[in-house]
Structures are given as structure tokens and as C-alpha cells.
Amino acid sequence: MKLESLSVSENQMVQNTIIGKIRDLINFKNLEPGDKLPSERMLSEKFKVSRSNVRDAIQKLEFYGLLRSIPQSGTFVANIGVIAMNGMIDDILGLEKPDFKSLVETRILLELKTVRLAALRRSEEDLERIKDALDAYEAKVNLGEDAVQEDLLFHLAIAKASGNSTMNTFMLTITPQIIMDFEKYHVCDKRKSLVGIQEHNEIYKAIKKQDTVMAKQKMKDHFSVLYQYCYNVK
């Protein structure tokens, strides 16, 4: 089967079906925290789906802290009660795919926090990583090429410099979808990329000086177009 032959929504449906069956299995077998689930191969055969589908579903439940995989040992029910687990799985199955605007809004809220923390905590190695991403963005823009990925790598470098692994994980989680959707929704005019070079430089300088107030303000200024897109403000 070709990768593109299964749509995102179809993949989501398969994944949710497997998650529901894993929940039913846990309830039927009265599995408790610490109990081991059947292997991926056994679940694949039982649910009549591919092992990769099972793996994706397990990884999603791990992400929400409901399962725990131990290398060479297997997958185990996490330390959470059955009632709470059922409630959380119901919530997970009810989640809708986030629309682009909500992803951008989340990104704004996260980055106003991460840039402040980056200015407070950055190391010399962090500064080097941010500067490398900035230079890569500038080089692409000056060549007249699309620099969306380099732009987002710059912001990911700032998230890493924040020293907050949870915020960094959130950024890594939402960034791929933002990259795919940026041009689709025509949010940013390519002509503004040259302005972006200056704005990136100002953010970098504020982080380097460890000026948390200035870093947050420069990031907010940088997001002016996104603010207009999300909140219809001028």
C-alpha cells in the first residue's frame, strides 16, 4: 500500500479503533497498574491490523501516560486507576484534529514563554545553535528561496534553550503540521521574509543579553502577522 493511499483521517480512525480495543482488553482482563499487555504481534493478530498500526496506538497511549513500554520487556499498564484510565481514553478518542489556526495560537502562547526562559537560561551552546539556525534562514531568504523550515528551526532552537523539556516537546509535536500548513493557508507573505531576518536578529540579541522583557517583546513583534491571522487585530 502506498503511504499516500491512506488519508490522515483514515489513519486516525484505525488508531482510535485500536485504542478502544486496548481499553476493552484492559477492562475485560481486569488488568491493573503494572500488568503486561500482549505483544504487538499478538495484538496485531487479535485486532486484525498491522503491527505498525498497533505500535502507533500504543505510542499515543504512552504519550498520555496510560501505558509504559520497557525495552526487551514489553508494554505495561501505567500506574493509574481503571476509572481514570477509561475517562482519559474516552477524552482521547473524542479529540479532534487541531485546525491550523489553533496550532498557530498554541505556538504563539508557547513561544512567548519559551523565549523568556531562553533569555534567562541559555548557554553558549544554545546561543550557537540559535545563531546557526538564524544564519541558515538568512541565507535561504537572500537566495529568494522558501525558508519556512529554517524559520521554524530557529524557533525550535529557542524552545530547546528554554531548558523546559515539556515546552520543547510541545513545540516538536506541533511544528511538523505547521510546516505543512504554512503555505497552504498563505499566512505569511514571502516578501516579509526579509523583515524576518531583522526580527530574528533582534530576538537573538535579546536572548544573548539575557534581557527577558526585551526578548518577549521582540518575539511578540515578530508574531504581528500571526496575531492578525488568529485574532483579526491590526
List, for residues 60-88, the tens digit of each pLDDT value.
Answer: 899 888 999 998 899 999 988 888 888 98
Query: Of 70, 83, 72, 75, whose CA–CA distance to 18 is shortest?
Result: 75
pLDDT of 108 above 80: yes
The mean per-residue pLDDT over the stretch 101-121 comes to: 90
User: Can you give the C-alpha Rg of the chain in angstroms?
Assistant: 21
The residue behind cell 518575539 is 219
Euclidean distance between CA atoms 168 and 212, whole angstroms: 18
More confident residue, 149 or 203: 203
The answer to whether the pTM exceeds 0.85 is no
Does residue 5 surpass a pLDDT of 60? no
Compute CA distances 42 → 15, 26, 34, 70, whole Å: 16, 14, 19, 17
Q: CB count, 10 Å around CB of 18?
A: 22
Q: How far apart are the first and last CA of the chain?
A: 47
Band (223; pLDDT cuts 50, 70, 90): confident
The stretch 170-185 carries a mean pLDDT of 72
pLDDT at 179 over 90: no
Give the model's pLDDT for residue 185.
Answer: 58
Write down the pLDDT at residue 123. Answer: 96
pLDDT of residue 227: 73
| pLDDT band per the 50, 70, 90 thresholds, residue 98 | low
Q: Binning pLDDT at 50, 70 and 90, where does residue 126 land?
A: very high
